[in-house]
Amino acid sequence: MQGEKILITGGAGFIGSHLCKKLLSKENKIFCLDNFYTGSRQNIKPFLNNPNFQLLEKDIIEIFEIEADYIFNLACPASPPHYQKDSIKTMKTSILGIYNLLDIVEKNNARLLQASTSEIYGSPLENPQKESYWGNVNPIGVRSCYDEGKRCAESILVDFYRQKKSDIKIVRIFNTYGPNMAINDGRVISNFIVQALKNENITVYGDGKQTRSFCYIDDLVEGLIKTMESNNFIGPVNIGNPNEMTVLELAELIISLTNSKSKIVHQELPQDDPTNRKPDISLAKLKLKWEPKVDIIEGLEKTIRYFKELTL
């Protein structure tokens, strides 16, 4: 994509701000829409004087008009503390928001990419998770506002594709990390790094044997763009790093990389916390020629440097 008009909802967030930066470098006109519920003005400060960047302080649950060729929908709180803070608003963001964006798609003959999530799979009964797996989700649990909201958004998108031939893409994002993560967002990597830099106890929920697979932000952004640029393929497609590790291994690694004096302490596992996360990325390799390149050590070192600047 070059020289296009691109709407990025949630553009001031962690992922959105990196996507803005990448697409601005290709001479695109970027409309960054954000209500700053979890996004940060600091993330987009470097772009505010760029003539190809326009900030739209709006909420996608409200109807709005815009001319755009492409839409990346990243608008939704993505960490448990944030999406559980106002679960009704989280659900409305996923469902009402996608209807509003599909109206823009129809009026502009635009292409829309939905940032879905590995939480579609719930606490999975298969590992790794393929796109064909329907998931194991608690529909009335404390996480359901996010899990079911994203599942419903996928259903709406595919129905619009079937009935109206809407130009849509669905990406299921697995755990992602890197600079611009919020210091208080509640994600495991940011939590551990901040605790380690402060030499505080590192909080591991449960026995720490639950697994996660962590994808560095640069790899994810490349996967999003490749999906948007693909033809004759709507997904859903997993974008993530299949290198699986336990939460306890992650804590120990971050202590080592930060030379921290932190000790690991265990607390009760939250309700419906997934036991494992590992994407099968065979489809991404086949259809998009995409796979992650940044290993966990390199990615964590870059992320630690970012958080050092924030906390020291």
pLDDT in tens, 189-209: 999 999 999 999 999 988 888
In this structure, is residue 206 part of a structural domain?
no
In this structure, is residue 309 part of a structural domain?
no
In this structure, is residue 210 part of a structural domain?
no
Domain extent for 123: 5-178+215-242+277-293
Residues noted as catalytic: 146
CATH code assigned at 224: 3.40.50.720
**Does the structure show a pLDDT above 90 at 1?**
no
Q: How many domains does the chain have?
A: 1
Instruction: Name the one residue in this structure whose structure tokens are 């958080």.
Output: 307
Measured distance CA(304)–CA(197) in Å, rounded: 8
Measured distance CA(233)–CA(171) in Å, rounded: 11
244 contacts 307 by C-beta, under 8 angstroms: no
Arithmetic mean of pLDDT, 136-157: 94
In this structure, is residue 186 part of a structural domain?
no
**Does the structure show a pLDDT above 90 at 101?**
yes
Task: Write down the mean pLDDT value for the chain.
Answer: 94
203 contacts 195 by C-beta, under 8 angstroms: yes
User: Distance between the two ends of the chain, CA-based, in angstroms?
Assistant: 39
In this structure, is residue 221 part of a structural domain?
yes
Q: Hey, what are 198's tokens?
A: 């402060």
pTM value is 0.93
**Does the structure show a pLDDT above 70 at 300?**
yes
| Percent of the chain at pLDDT exceeding 70 | 99
More confident residue, 276 or 180: 180
**Does the structure show a pLDDT above 80 at 57?**
yes
In this structure, is residue 253 part of a structural domain?
no
In this structure, is residue 105 part of a structural domain?
yes
Separation of CA 40 from chain center: 15
Measured distance CA(93)–CA(205) in Å, rounded: 28
In this structure, is residue 283 part of a structural domain?
yes
